[in-house]
Amino acid sequence: TAYYYSSSKITTMGLHDFKYGKIQAKIKTVDGEGFWPAFWLMPDEDILWPQGGEIDIMENRGRISNVSSSALHFGKKYDDKSTLVGEVLIPRSVKFQEKYHSVSLLWQEDKIEFYFI
């Protein structure tokens, strides 16, 4: 059995950076083995992961089509890091992959909130 996959990446490093505020996108995900659509933020500086942190606004594993997650990754190095994850269980009747959804991050000094609409 042959499997064919393609992937894409949009790199915006150096184009815009921010600390605190709201970022929002309309996203349509796909389902299926091997897909892992994601919308995430990395530091705008050359620093080893996870020292600069990572904010996953939305990740949707294609093989698990009714769960989306948001996460924070931070720490000293790959094997000495912390991860905070929140997951949303989407009722299968919603058919999440069939239309665009608004995915947002509201980042304030003392909290971060994630929204799926």
Residue of 54, 98, 109, 113 marked catalytic: 54
**Reading across the β-sheet that carries 21-27, which strands appear in turn?**
21-27, 101-108, 111-116
> Secondary structure of the chain in the HEC alphabet?
CCCCCCCCCCCCCCCCCCCCEEEEEEECCCCCCCCCCEEEECCCCCCCCCCCCEEEEEECCCCCCCEEEEEEEEEEECCEEEEEEEEEECCHHHCHHHCCEEEEEEEECCEEEEEEC
Q: One of 33, 45, 59, 98 is an active-site residue; which one?
A: 59
Provide the residue type at 8 as one letter: S
59 part of the active site: yes
Give me the active site residues, please. 54, 59
